[in-house]
Every structure is written in structure tokens, then in C-alpha cells.
Amino acid sequence: MSNMRKVTMGLVLAGAMMAAFGTAMAEGKHKVVIQVSSDDPTTQKIALNNAVNVQKDLGMDNVDIEIVAYGPGLGLLTVKSEESARVKSLAMQNITFSACGNTMKKVAEKTGKEPQLTEGVKVVSAGVIRIMELQESGYSYVRP
């Protein structure tokens, strides 16, 4: 392949990437992942408040929000959580909740059963991996 052809292909690819980026920016679509790895009720409430405030400020159609819980933070996403009804409500308002599958398995090993998750919560294979994937795809990272 000639150098000129390589340069042309490179410019075409760069142009396509810039067009895609420009489209995303023109649409005003923001993306944020919020980590919950603490069992502290105040920290968990702050994470939910962060999600609500971001969505309120930017508009539901202008932001993708995912809360990823693992380790001690998984309790937030269970039916036993004081925030269970709020999690269920927020899941219906375009906020994604992801529970760590590794943590679910560890809890099952210790207690004999997996924790019961609040309606609207999905399970991902590993919470930390999910956060990495989201950051790699352009999500901003927040940890209250």
C-alpha cells in the first residue's frame, strides 16, 4: 500500500471518529458511572442523590447514568436496603443499577443463598470490570 493511500485512509478514519464524537457532543449526551462499594448508608444515599441531581441538571435524555455496586456496597441494591423503593423508582427513570456477580457468589458461599435484588437491578459479572468497561467507553467516574 502506498504512503499516500495510507495517509488518505488515516484521514478518512480520523474524520469518521471526529464525526462520531461531534454527533455525540451535538446531542449533548453525557455518561457517568457511580461506584458504590461502601455499606455506609450516608454514602449510599449520596450516590443516589448524585445520580438524581445529575439527571435533573442535565435532563433525562441528555445523560446515561449507571450505578455499580460491589463488595459491601451491594446491600444498597437488595430488597433489605432502606433505599430499596428508591432504587426501584430510579431504575424506572432511566438510571441503570448493576450488581456485582462476584459479590453475589461470595455472599451465597457465606450465607447459602444469593441476596435478593431490588426490582430493576441487573447483575454484571464483576463490578470493577463493569466500571472499567464504562470508563473505556467514555463514562465519567464518580465515587461519593
Asked if 63 and 54 touch (Cβ cutoff 8 Å), the reply is yes
Query: Angle of helix 84-91 relative to helix 41-58, nearest 10 degrees?
Result: 20
Please choose, from the candidates 50, 69, 54, 64, the residue with its C-alpha nearest in 3D space to the C-alpha of residue 138. 64
Q: Count of CB atoms within 10 A of residue 54's CB? A: 19
Superfamily for 29-142?
DsrEFH-like (3.40.1260.10)
pLDDT, tens digit, for every residue of 38-65?
999 999 999 999 999 999 999 999 999 9
115: its cell numbers: 441476596
What's the Cα-to-Cα distance from 65 to each of 61, 77, 103, rounded to whole Å?
A: 11, 15, 21
Say if pTM beats, i.e. exceeds, 0.75: yes
